[in-house]
Amino acid sequence: MQWCYTEGIIPRLYRVDFSQEPYQFSTLSVESSIQQNSSDDGKYLMVLSKQGVLYLYHGRDGNLIKKIKVSEPFLGDWFEDVGKAILPHIESHKGIAYITLTHEGRIAEIDLEQGKVKRYIDLGGFPTRIVLLAKETLVQTSN
């Protein structure tokens, strides 16, 4: 199962099912979004709208599970190029999603199972991309 997104006048999510031949596409109408990603386990599809709402969809069938207000709206133009990263980013690990809120200088921590904001991590600046490193993957060296 793969998810794709189109922007513009008619934003849509496309679900591609590769288990059937010929491949089957289904569509989901969504609000204009600024970022999308699936959870690390594929259980959820997360769509962050320009209004600051995280839409949580079921990762297989695309049914809407919950809407979670995570930030103020992303006002103005949010176009980036190779020389400038400005868009927020969504990553998850073990049921917790982290969303960089570029326009607010912080990261939202979301409990996906409970469907609510756990906390905000104030950073200042303009956080964009985020990479999660699981504690168990870090190697400890001794001198």
- Mean pLDDT, rounded, for 91-117: 95
Q: Does the pLDDT of residue 72 top 80, yes or no?
A: yes
Q: What is the pLDDT of residue 96?
A: 95
pLDDT 10s digits, 23-33: 877 887 777 78
Structure-token match 């699936």, residue found? 38
CATH fold for domain 32-134 = Lipocalin (2.40.128)
- Mean pLDDT, rounded, for 78-84: 73
Least confident piece of the model among 52-61, 74-83, 114-123: 74-83
- Mean pLDDT, rounded, for 5-28: 76
Confidence of residue 91 (pLDDT cuts 50, 70, 90): very high
Bigger pLDDT: 133 vs 47: 47
Q: In the predicted model, what is the mean pLDDT of the chain?
A: 85
Confidence of residue 128 (pLDDT cuts 50, 70, 90): confident
Bigger pLDDT: 99 vs 22: 99
Residue 13 CB coordination number (10 Å): 20
Rounded CA gap, 119 and 38, in Å? 20
Confidence of residue 108 (pLDDT cuts 50, 70, 90): very high
Q: Does the pLDDT of residue 133 top 90, yes or no?
A: no
Q: Does the pLDDT of residue 62 top 80, yes or no?
A: yes
